[in-house]
Amino acid sequence: MNFEEKLARLKVNSFSYLRSDWLSQMIEIFSSAEELLRQDAKTISKEGKIPLESAEAFLKSCAMLDAAKEMEKTEKSGGKILFNGEEDFPQRLTEIKEAPLLIYVRGDLGDVQRAAVGMVGTRKISPYGRRAASKLAGDLAQSGVVLVSGLARGIDSVVHAEAVKNQTPTWALIGTGIGRCYPAENRELARAILDTGGAIISELPFDAPPLAHHFPRRNRLIAGLSDVVVVVEGEVKSGALITAKMALDQGLDVMAVPGPIDSPTSGGPNKLIKEGAGMVLCANDIIDAIPVQKKFGLKVKKLYNESKAPSEPLTEQEQKIFDLIGEDSKSIDDLALETDLQITQLSAILFSLEVSGIIICTDGKYSRNKFN
């Protein structure tokens, strides 16, 4: 692919309202993106079977983008642009429906064919979702799986953070250009992802803002780069479920983490399980679903043999408090009422329980740390 064609493809790619398979088709019809750009709106409308206004908007958007500048900015930020059809373009992404024309990458993709697990979920995370996501992601990262997610708030952030914590690469498919960070509070996390050998990937122009229609599009890339997609938490209508659908369309395994039936954020995964998705009870369930040829090199054994660290036996009072906390979460007030202990005494007991990791405290409420 020559340089001019690359520039032309960058321009063509800038109009994010049209599907990329439509673009590929048009490029095929006119033999190159350069040629496509030379057409007028009428021809494009006729050949591409789209309304005239859309064709006009498409051409206008293409003309607006300064492709050379785009390349320069990407390079300056330490990123690169990979074109579909070139050798360095990830093979996985050529195989999906609606394969992207090109992707912008910051950081290092490494071996793209490695075992990778997409973990997605709601932005409005529940304490349960946080626990589940961090436990599963942590175990997967330790076994050497690349975690793929979307760098959004909630589950996505937990997943990436676990990978960073375990010093393993992780891929973030974002819904903006790679020149931006959305949400802004994840800037530190994004930097850490790059530092630990991960990559931030987007098919959108360098400075593309976070528009609503960008996110479903990037979900297909999450699915595209993964071997298995796991939905941790999400409402019945949510981005996580879109990703799951995309994964199914691409013939991937979709798995889901079951949750309480009355929790709205577990509605999505529960529905998926009902419809036949694999149920995730531990990280091994996910690893089992990874194609056999990719399991080579994963440190799976460790997970199977994982034994609980011997913890000190609880004192009588600690056991009493632990039992009282039960399956629900309790505030220190509830405990004070049920035990007639003073706040001072209760604090000491709760502290030692919390420090030993048996219980956790969220917003002043104590609950059992289910994954310990």
* Whole-number Å distance between alpha carbons of 127 and 148: 21
Q: For residues 311 and 362, which CB has a smaller minimum distance to another protein in the complex?
A: 362
CA distances from 292 to 6, 146, 288, 289, 296 (A): 37, 16, 8, 8, 7
Query: Closer CB to another protein, residue 89 or residue 366?
Result: 366
Q: How far is the CB of 332 from another protein (least distance, A)?
A: 5
Give the ranges where the chain is alpha helix by DSSP (H): 3-13, 20-30, 33-38, 41-48, 52-64, 67-76, 91-94, 127-143, 155-165, 187-195, 214-225, 239-249, 267-274, 283-289, 292-295, 300-304, 316-325, 332-339, 343-355
User: Residue 277 interacts with another protein (CB under 8 A)?
Assistant: no
- Asked if residue 355 binds another protein (CB under 8 A), the reply is yes
Residue 124 interacts with another protein (CB under 8 A)? Answer: yes
**Which residue of 299, 315, 347, 370 would you call a contact of another protein, by CB under 8 A?**
347
Q: Which is nearer to another protein, 50 or 336 (CB)?
A: 336
Out of 67, 350, 353, 359, which residue is the one contacting another protein (CB under 8 A)?
350
Using the minimum distance from each CB to another protein, give the nearer residue, 87 or 363.
363
Question: Per CB under 8 A, does 267 bind another protein?
Answer: no
365 binds another protein (CB under 8 A): yes
Options 183, 210, 258, 278; binder of another protein; rule CB under 8 A: 183
In the complex, what is the shortest distance from the CB of residue 272 to another protein, in angstroms, rounded to a whole number?
23
123 binds another protein (CB under 8 A): yes
Q: Confirm or reject binding of residue 2 to another protein (CB under 8 A).
A: no
Number of amino acids touching another protein (CB under 8 A): 31
| CA-based nearest residue to 353, from 333, 367, 339 | 367
Axis crossing angle, helix 20-30 with helix 3-13, rounded to the nearest 10: 140
Handedness of CA 305, 310, 316, 321 (dihedral sign): negative
Residue 340 burial by Cβ neighbours in a 10 Å radius (0-12, 13-18, 19+): exposed
Q: How far apart are CA 369 and CA 349, in angstroms?
A: 16
Tokens of 255: 């798995």
Spatial separation of the C-alpha atoms in residues 212 and 196, rounded to whole Å: 29
Distance separating alpha carbons of residues 85 and 39, to the nearest angstrom: 23
- Phi and psi for 54 in degrees, rounded to 5? -65, -40
Site for another protein in 285-344 (CB under 8 A): 331-334, 336-337, 343-344
On the question of a cis peptide bond just before residue 183, with omega within 30 degrees of 0, the verdict is yes
Q: Segment near another protein (CB under 8 A), from 103-111, 197-205, 210-218, 355-363?
A: 355-363
Q: Confirm or reject binding of residue 210 to another protein (CB under 8 A).
A: no
Task: Choose the binding region for another protein from 32-40, 138-146, 295-303, 357-365 (rule: CB under 8 A).
Answer: 357-365
For residue 130, the minimal CB distance to another protein (Å) is: 7
Q: How many residues does the chain have?
A: 372
**Binding residues among 136-165 for another protein as defined by CB under 8 A:** 153-154
User: Of the candidates 127, 209, 251, 297, which one interacts with another protein according to CB under 8 A?
Assistant: 127
Interface segment toward another protein; rule CB under 8 A; list 58-66, 187-195, 277-285, 350-358: 350-358
Q: Are 138 and 162 a contacting pair, CB within 8 Å?
A: yes
Q: How far is the CB of 344 from another protein (least distance, A)?
A: 5
What residues make contact with another protein under the rule CB under 8 A?
123-127, 130, 153-154, 183, 185, 331-334, 336-337, 343-345, 347-348, 350-351, 354-355, 357, 361-365
